[in-house]
Amino acid sequence: MPVGTLASVKGVPQDILEELGVQILLGNTYHLYLRPGVEQIRRLAGLHCFMSWPRAILTDSGGFQVFSLNDLRRITEDGVTFRSHLDGSEHFFSPESATAAQIGLGADIIMAFDECTEYPAEPERARASMELTLRWAERSKKYFEEHKHEVPWTTTHVEADALVRLGERSSPAPSDSAELNSPGRARAPVPTRAGETQALFGIVQGGMDPALRKESAERTIALDFPGYAIGGLSVGEPRTLTREIVEATLEHLPKDKPRYLMGVGTPEEIIEYAKLGIDMMDCVLPTRAARHGLLFTSQGKISIKQARYAGDENPLDPNCNCRVCRRYSRAYLRHLYASNEVLAQVLNTVHNLSFYLDTMRGVRHSIGLG
């Protein structure tokens, strides 16, 4: 899942994301709650309509971002008080309010409010944190069950063909793009989904202790969610430990429900985690690295800022068929980056996303072949 923090994958128009084959985007509740605000997005019929994105969206609970604020937050049983990174104003997220925010945003998949245990953590601290996450998961689910029909989908100003489009949802993704760009259409169609609700996923915590992870998984499953995430990883621990904990957690998660590993990873890592049984991942790496001129290719990483590419007429990745590699040379991309041109960010991001999505298409193909 590419990350579209503020309802935009930085620098990339939605029709190009569709062309790339993006099936689902991640939005950050903390950021959207601050700007433009949940009520604004609710009034505009939810994130899909707001950002004109008819495909799937997942929002995180805001927990991870709030915990990342460090000095700016205070945690109690009830929830987390934090200060905005924008203006220092004080806010409060609880399992109830974070779930309410996510219902208002109206993503397809939303996440229970959890505490992301820091690394390293003492055993008693890891247990206490896990127990808190379990109590918060229960409260998140309770609030969700009582309020899930408040999702703004039902108030969507749908177009005449929206219902038709809903039936087309299983058709190959790239066809949307041409249709959206046909003249005379006022706005991108977003399916109406009267009667449907969002899917609330639970999050497994437990620090770096396999036994705690097992307990967290079993007790989260007992709460009965339609999907489960593995949280609290990629927080500074060594990669071998990440993998160990992923394996130790996965064996306790049901195979017939989506298993989502949060916040990973490199192209090599996402292949490895998929092999272990992970179904969903999100990471800022492809988009953030692109903004720093770090590009993923079939021949390894390229730092496009390097002078060695100044006269290089080759495409960025000769094995890539994305619109950047089809059209531009490394020399041009290097020039754009060195000259601080905005197009550098646009093109670099398109390529890195293409590389990641190609990687996952390859994974799905391999799974299909057994």
In angstroms, give the least distance from the CB of 297 to its own copies.
15
For residue 191, give every residue at least 6 positions away whose Cβ sits within 8 Å of its Cβ, in sequence order, or none. 54, 158, 162, 163, 165, 166, 169
Nearer to its own copies, 36 or 226 (CB): 36
If the CB atoms of residues 45 and 270 are measured against its own copies, the closer one turns out to be 45
> By C-beta, is 257 or 335 nearer to its own copies?
335
Distance of closest approach, residue 191 Cβ to its own copies, in angstroms? 16
CB of 360 to its own copies, least distance (A): 19
Task: Return the C-alpha torsion angle 179, 184, 190, 194, nearest 10.
Answer: -120
Least distance between its own copies and beta carbon 351 (Å): 12
Q: Which of 277, 265, 232 is nearest to 3 (CA)?
A: 265
**Cα 4 → chain centroid:** 7
Name the residue nearer to its own copies (CB basis): 137 or 344: 344
With contact defined as beta carbons under 8 Å apart, do 266 and 352 qualify?
no
Nearer to its own copies, 171 or 181 (CB): 181
Alpha carbon of residue 369 to chain centroid: 27
Nearer to its own copies, 262 or 316 (CB): 316
Answer yes or no: are the C-beta atoms of 356 and 24 closer than 8 Å: no
CB of 28 to its own copies, least distance (A): 12
Integer angstrom CA distances of residue 63 from 82, 92, 114, 127, 171: 11, 11, 6, 18, 35
Among residues 60, 108, 114, 176, the one annotated as catalytic is 60
Q: What are phi and psi of 129, to 5 degrees?
A: -65, -45
| Known catalytic residue at 256 | no
User: Which residues contribute to the site for its own copies (CB under 8 A)?
Assistant: 6-8, 10-15, 35-36, 40, 43-44, 50-52, 157, 180-181, 183-188, 310-311, 313, 315, 318, 321, 323, 326-329, 331-332, 335-336, 338-339, 341-343, 345-347
Nearer to its own copies, 22 or 51 (CB): 51
SS (H, E, C) 319-368: CCCCHHHHHCEHHHHHHHHHCCCHHHHHHHHHHHHHHHHHHHHHHHHHHH
Q: How far is the CB of 188 from its own copies (least distance, A)?
A: 5
Specify the DSSP class assigned to residue 316.
S
Distance of alpha carbon 106 from alpha carbon 57, whole angstroms: 9
Active site residue 358: no
Out of 108, 209, 282, 317, which one is annotated catalytic? 282
Check if the beta carbon of residue 27 is closer than 8 Å to that of residue 47: yes
Alpha-carbon distance values, 276 to 4, 203, 260 (Å)? 26, 18, 12
Question: How many whole angstroms separate alpha carbon 314 and alpha carbon 309?
Answer: 9
Active site residues: 60, 282
